[in-house]
Amino acid sequence: MAEPYRLIDLFAGAGGLTLGFTSLETTEGKPAFRPIWANDFNEDATKTYNANFGQHCSHGDIVDLLEDPTFEVPSAEIVIGGPPCQGFSLLNKKRKVDPRKQLWRPFMEVVDRSGAHVFVMENVRQLLNSPEFYEIREEAEGLGFRVAATVLCAADYGVPQERYRAFVIGAKAADPHDAFPPKKTHFKPEPDDGGASAQLFESYRGAGTPWRTVRDAIGDLPEPVGTEIRSEPGPFDLHFGRNPTRKSELRYRAVPPGGNRFDLQRNAPEITPACWIRKKSGGTDLFGRLWWDRPSVTIRTEFFKPEKGRYLHPVQHRPITHREAARLQSFPDTFAFTGTKIEIARQIGNAVPPQLALAVARSAHALLSGDQEYIWDVGIHEPSATYR
C-alpha cells in the first residue's frame, strides 16, 4: 500500500480544501492525502485549521515567509489553495490595480520549490477571463505543467448551495483533461423528467441524484437558542440567533416564503428602508428568504445580515445561523471552528465547500496515481485524529 500523497494548502483559511482532500480514501480504505504544511494570513483561521488537522499551519504573510532564507519549503506531491480572490471580484471591478491579484505568484513559487507533481488553484470564476489567468498558465507551463481550468458548480457535487468557483489544475506527468473536470454526482432537477436529463451527459457518474436542498441540509435543526457560541458539541454550539430590533422583526415577518426586499416594500412600505424604495431594480436577493426545496444561494461572510443577501430562514423570522451556514457549505457538525462570531462567519463564508473539494481531490488523485478510475467515497467526514 503506497503512502498518502503529501499535501500543502496555501491561503488555507479554515481548511475547506484540506477537509475535502483528506476525506478521500483509497480502495483499501486508507487516506489518499496527508497534509504536511499549510499557511494563512488570518490568525483565527490558522487556529481553526490546526484544531482540525494538526499543528502544521503557519500564520503569517506567505511572501515574507518565502523571502526568509532560513525557511525551507517541504517536499510534497501536491499543492492546493485559493489565493485571495477579492481582486477579481465583481465587487471590486472599479479598482484598476489590486496587489491581491498577484498572490498566485508565491503560490506557484511553492509549487516549484516543493517539487509538486500536481497543483490545484481555486478562485472566483472571473479569474478565467482575466489577464492573470493567462499569466498563471504561462508560468505553470514554464515549470513543466499541463493545465486545465473550468468553473464548477458546488451543487453538482452534493453541496446544498448553488456556488460557482473557478479551478485551475496542473499536472506534470499526465494530461489534466483526462481526469478533470470531475464527474458530476448531482443534477438540477427539471420538471417532470424523472431525472432523465442527467443521463444525457457523460459528465455524470451514472444517472446522478438531484441537487441537495436547504431542507436536506438544515431541516432537522430546531429553532436556535441564545445569541452566543455555546460550549456544547455540534450542531448546537454554533446554532444561535441574534437580537434584532422590533423593526427588523417586523421586516422579517413581512417577507413571504421565497420573497425578498420587493415583497417587503409591497407588504410594509412604512418600514422599508428609503434607499431600497428609491432603487427600483437590482438586488433581488436582498432581504430574501432561502427556498426549502432548492440549494442555497452563495454563502458569503456576512450571511447573518439579511440586508446582504438571501439569508433569511425559509419559514422562521430570522437570518440563518452559523451552524446552518456551515451545513450549507457542507462542513460536518464535528468540524471545530475557533474565534469570535464574526471571525467564524468569515471562515465559513470564505471556505471552499469541502464536498466540492472532495470531487476535485478525485481528479487530482487520478492524475498523481496514473489510475484514471475515480475513487468514490461516501462524502465528507470528521477530520481524522491522525492529523491532530
What cell was used for 369? 496515481
Rounded CA-CA distance 167/121 in Å is 6
Here the cell at position 11 is 491561503
Q: How many residues are given for the chain? A: 388
CB-based contacts of 97: which residues, under 8 Å, 6+ apart?
none
pLDDT of residue 194: 54
Q: Nearest CA to 83 among 169, 164, 10, 148?
A: 10
3-state SS, 188-245, equals CCCCCCCCHHHHHCCCEEEEEEECCCHHHHHCCCCCCCCCCCCCCCCCHHHCCCCCCC
The mean-pLDDT minimum among 26-30, 98-102, 160-164, 368-372 falls in: 98-102
Pairwise CA distance, residues 46 & 322, whole Å: 19
Mean pLDDT of 346-362: 98
Indicate the pTM of the whole model: 0.92
| Alpha-carbon distances of 245 from 154, 248, 249, 252, rounded to whole Å | 35, 5, 6, 11
Which three cell numbers mark 261? 426586499
**Of 161, 159, 187, nearest to 297 (Cα)?**
161
In the predicted structure, residue 35 carries a pLDDT above the cut 90: yes
Where do runs of H (alpha helix) occur along the chain? 16-22, 43-53, 62-67, 104-114, 131-142, 214-218, 246-254, 261-267, 274-278, 322-328, 341-350, 354-369
Tell me what pLDDT residue 328 has: 98
Burial of 48 by CB count in 10 Å (0-12 exposed, 13-18 middle, 19+ buried)? Answer: buried
Q: What sign has the CA pseudo-torsion 325, 51, 18, 139?
A: positive
Domains and CATH numbers, the chain: 5-210+349-387 (3.40.50.150), 217-346 (3.90.120.10)
> Crossing angle of helices 43-53/341-350, nearest 10°?
70
> By three-state DSSP, how is residue 355 classified?
helix
- pLDDT band, residue 96 (cuts 50/70/90): low
pLDDT value, residue 281: 77
Q: How does residue 33 score in pLDDT terms, banded at 50, 70 and 90?
A: very high
Sorting pLDDT into bands at 50, 70 and 90, what band is 278?
confident
